[in-house]
Amino acid sequence: METIMEILVWLAGPVVGAVIGIFTNYIAVKMLFRPYREKYIGKWRLPFTPGIIPRRQPALAAALGRMVSEKLVCEEDIKRALLSDEVTETVVNAILALPPVRESGEMLLSGTYDIQREKLLNLLTDKIVTGIAGLDLNDLLTREGANIAAGISQRNPLVGMFLNEGTIASLAPTLTERILAFLEGDGKVKLHALLDAEAAKLEEKPIGEMFGTREEVAPVLASVYHRLVSDHADNIASRFHIAEIVEKRVTAMPPEDLEKLILSVMKKELNDVIQLGAVIGFVMGIFTTLINMI
């Protein structure tokens, strides 16, 4: 009986120490996350509420944002990722897989495609008419007409007596006037119809086939994509605002979800801390028992 009592005396201290250690560390780990929010008695906030991580969540979010943007994913990493073969191939294939121009336009413009198409055709028609009208048609007709007349005179001198440079020069102003009047009237209508017909042909082609076969277009698209990304990589990377995104997401995360996130990574380590409390408590209990025996 005395032997049993001695054993119990020897074990009591270490066992109690282990229980206290594991319980203390368990509470400490829980206090990292809980309570999730402030607790009040009347207007008085209870100390240690909320838990350490919920209370420091904004600072943690800012630190994580800086670490991710400066150490884990920097601008050079983004540029390298954008220029990788996999991303380049994905972009090129996406462009080549786009449906015909009309279908793509209707999807992008949400029902206003025909309106925008007509505006574009009118703009092109006006630009062409304005460009032709801006030429010195009188001089152009005189010069080119004289060249034609000279060629005719060499082949048929009799006709050349009547159709010469002087005749062409006298007719040029009238022809210029007629051409400009035609452009502003029926000519503009016919030009618009011609552009409309050509646009209709292009609209039926898939975007990837507008400029050649897939094998011909793919390298060109890849080259253009690489050049654009290389020229604007710094600007593109800076637009990601990685630090701000991480900070906002972590700050807005409910404390419950933040606890789950951290535990999904550190659960084993935190359990080890709790178990370590039991080991330390057990060892301290042995030392306490030895000291009391002495």
Q: What's the pLDDT tens digit per position in 126-139?
A: 888 888 778 777 77
Q: Report pLDDT digits (tens) over 83-131.
A: 888 888 888 888 877 777 777 777 777 778 788 888 888 898 888 888 8
pLDDT of residue 151: 64
Whether 250 and 61 have beta carbons less than 8 Å apart is answered as yes
Work out the angle at residue 284's Cα, subtended by the Cα atoms of residues 279 and 289, and round it to the nearest 5 degrees: 130
pLDDT of residue 273: 83
Whether 113 and 200 have beta carbons less than 8 Å apart is answered as no
Each domain of the chain, given as residue ranges in start order, spans 2-74+253-293, 78-238
Lowest mean pLDDT among 23-37, 46-60, 235-249: 235-249
Residue 7 has pLDDT above 70, yes or no: no
| Span 78-84, average pLDDT | 80
pLDDT of residue 279: 86
Whether 24 and 278 have beta carbons less than 8 Å apart is answered as no
- Tell how strand 44-45 and strand 40-41 pair up: antiparallel
Q: pTM for this structure?
A: 0.46
Whether 10 and 281 have beta carbons less than 8 Å apart is answered as no
Lowest mean pLDDT among 132-136, 207-211, 213-217: 207-211
Average pLDDT, whole number, for the chain?
78
In 3-state terms the chain splits into helix, strand, coil percentages (rounded to 5) of: 85, 0, 15
In angstroms, rounded to a whole number, what is the distance separating the alpha carbons of residues 153 and 137? Answer: 23
